Amino acid sequence: MSAQQPAPVDTRSITRQILSIVFYTFIAFLCIGLPIAVLPSYVHDQLGFSAVIAGITIGLQYLATLLSRPFAGRAADSLGSKRAIIYGLIGIAASGVLTFTSALTVTVPLLSLLALLGGRVLLGVAQGLIGVGTLSWGIGAVGAEQTARVISWNGIASYGAIAIGAPLGVMLVDQVNFATLGLALSGLALLALLVIRNKPSTPVVRGERLPFWAAFGRVAPCGVSLTLASIGYGTLTTFVTLFYLEQGWSGAAWCLSAFGVCFILSRLLFVNAVNRFGGYQVAVACMATEALGLALLWLAPSPALALIGAGLAGFGLSLVYPALGVEAIKQVPSSSRGAGLGAYAVFFDLALAIAGPVMGAVTLYLGYAWIFCVAALLSLLGVGLTVLLSRRANAH
């Protein structure tokens, strides 16, 4: 009598489950994308504050997300993923109310700015709650062996939503007014709250609850590799326009589009690669590809080669987060998965936070082209670290 074969995995059913959960990531990042392209001009031109204040207004949301990571992880672990997402959606709705209030008080610039800043803080905390909540919920629903697939689809939802939200926000403000952004944020959040109301959540996993910093220490080796790779993304998005100006080229936006399209395409085509080849192996191959793309940007004699370099960088970086994430989450118990995911996300936040000042210093001495050389070298350093982590894992 032959041994019973395991039932084949229904990947379509798994994907449908994941999509039904990362829908909330899509809503959150759509709300993040809507104001991102219009806030600087609103703060500078409408309210009359300096460009520095406009920059602080944008950056405050990301700082709030970074600082709220421990709270978000603890909420997902102890209260449940669904509850964490609900709190995040309520935060987005409240952010919309404050954004709407800012538009109503535009004749009192300081009051308008304070309302706007309050909304940015709430939006940042909401991003942390929903980001960790959807990942934790998705992994709990389809199993830890599908971690890479969950992280990949979550990333597609977030990048796609920002790509849609930014031009949509510009259109809303141009066609109607700034107040409609607040109404849109609250409306989208309320819609998501209606959808999530009757959706069954996975039960809270009982067991060891690691403090955030204990989880942080366990995922840190993979997290450092993630930071080294992700600095290239922060460098490209922050400086590519100025790099094009220095070269005397036009069309910097196409460079960002090439990066984004290849990023999403890679995740769609190779979503199963991590399960087939292992997280460390995929991360090494992807970081090497990213380094090649960044080197092409550094040496590009024409916009055409710069586009190819940006596309290669996006194609390579795409799977680094899920590949290293799979290995990082193995280091924490399932009862502390939210803390682990929150701690791991900090390293991506850190890459975006340090890319600006570090690469800004490089440009002062070497010019804009060399920032891509430095980013490529950091990515190669990440390759070396990841190889060491892989050998250490195999030795055990």
Q: Please answer whether residues 215 and 73 qualify as being in contact, where contact means their C-beta atoms are separated by less than 8 angstroms.
A: yes
Q: Which pLDDT score is estimated for 274? A: 82
Whole-Å CA distances, 28 to 126, 190, 309, 310: 8, 12, 30, 26
Residue type at 85 in one-letter notation: I
Q: Is the fold of 11-196 the same as that of 212-395?
A: yes
Cβ–Cβ under 8 Å, residues 329 and 226: no
Any idea where the domains of the chain sit in the sequence? 11-196, 212-395
Kindly compute the dihedral angle of the four CA atoms of residues 306, 243, 224, 386, in this order, to the nearest 10 degrees.
Answer: 20
What whole-number distance in Å separates Cα of residue 7 and Cα of residue 332?
Answer: 28
Residues of the chain with pLDDT under 50: 1-7
Q: What digits encode the pLDDT tens for the residues 92-112?
A: 999 999 999 999 998 899 999
Helices and strands (H and E) in the chain: how many: 15, 0
Q: Inter-axis angle of helices 337-366 and 212-247, to 10 degrees?
A: 30
CA distance 343 to 68: 10
Domain 11-196 listed as CATH 1.10.1040.10: no
CA 169 to mean position of chain CA atoms: 19
Please tell me the distance from the alpha carbon of residue 325 to that of residue 206, in angstroms, as a whole number.
22
CATH class of 212-395: mainly alpha
pLDDT (0 to 100) of residue 189: 94
Coil vs helix vs strand at 27: helix
Neighbours of 253 (CB within 10 A): 11
DSSP assignment of 273-329: HHHHH-HHHHHHHHHHHHHHHHHHHHH-SSHHHHHHHHHHHHHHHTTHHHHHHHHHH
pLDDT tens track for 265-287: 888 888 788 888 888 899 999 99
**Tokens 């055990």 sit on residue:** 396
Rounded distance, CA 32 to CA 120, Å?
9
- pLDDT value of position 293: 94
